[in-house]
Amino acid sequence: MPEFINPIEILNQIGLRPDMVAADFGCGAGGWVIPLAKILKDGRVYAIDVQEEPLSALEGKLKMFDIKNVVTVRSDVEKVGGSKIPEGSCDIVLMVNLLFQVDDKGEVFKEAKRILKENGRVLVVDWLKNAPLGPVEGRVLPEEVKKIAQENGFRAERESKAGNFHYLLYFTKSE
Query: Residue 68 is which amino acid?
Result: K
Q: Supply φ then ψ for residue 127, to 5 degrees.
A: -70, 135
Note the pLDDT of residue 135: 87
Three-state SS at 133? coil
> Beta strands of the chain (E only): which ranges?
21-25, 44-49, 70-74, 90-96, 116-127, 154-162, 166-173
Contact predicate 6/29, CB 8 Å: no
**Residues present in the chain in total:** 175
The domain 7-173 is placed in CATH, from the list 3.40.50.150, 3.40.930.10, 3.30.390.10, 3.40.190.10, at 3.40.50.150
Q: How far is the CA of 143 from the CAs of 45, 88, 106, 170, 171, in angstroms?
A: 28, 27, 14, 13, 13
Please report, in tens digits, the pLDDT of each residue of the chain (175 residues total). 557 788 999 999 899 999 999 999 999 999 999 999 999 999 999 999 999 999 999 999 999 999 999 999 999 999 999 899 999 999 999 999 999 999 999 999 999 999 999 999 999 999 998 888 888 888 999 999 999 999 999 999 999 889 889 999 999 999 6
The Cα 108–Cα 146 span in angstroms is 13
The Cα 106–Cα 113 span in angstroms is 10
Total-model pTM: 0.95
Q: How far is the CA of 122 from the CAs of 119, 125, 167, in angstroms?
A: 10, 10, 14
Contact predicate 43/117, CB 8 Å: no
Q: Where are the domains of the chain?
A: 7-173
The end-to-end CA distance of the chain, in Å, is 42
